Amino acid sequence: MAKRKNINILFNELGEGTLECAGFNTYRCLGQKGLKYPTDITVDPSIPGTKEAPHYSKTYSCPPNDNALGQCIMPYAILIWGQQGVYIHEWPTPATYAGNGGPTHGCIHLDRGNAHIVYAWVDRPTRILIDYPW
């Protein structure tokens, strides 16, 4: 059986942070400051719906990243918290507080291009550890 992979996410007080694919690379990310994310999650891409490229949010509208139905397009989405509909996914602007115009609704945004790399890297069960100061 293949060894499980690990992702480490570390946020600062604004929700800006880093997402490290352990042993591979580290990327800038943005989450929602103050959200009590689960701190230890395992995702399994063999389970349908865990990875979608793209996922369409039926809850949030996020112009200019919407489709014709007004649904937020979330490219290279990895579901990490199903009960809350929280994904790791690409965002069209920089994954910073200022670049997103403020915090996300809870998803973890990655810069354009980086999300595709992380999406492809999660090819077997992957443990995600999240740390934040709030």
Give the pLDDT of residue 105.
84
Confidence at residue 1, expressed as pLDDT on a 0 to 100 scale:
59
Say which residue, 105 or 66, is predicted with more confidence.
105
Distance CA(21)–CA(14), nearest Å, equals: 22
Domains, the chain, in order of start with CATH, read 5-131 (2.40.440.10)
Angle at 24 between CA 44 and CA 84, to 5 degrees: 35
Residue 83 pLDDT level (bands cut at 50, 70, 90): confident
With CA atoms as reference, report the closest residue to 107 among 88, 92, 122, 91: 88
**What is the pTM assigned to this prediction?**
0.91
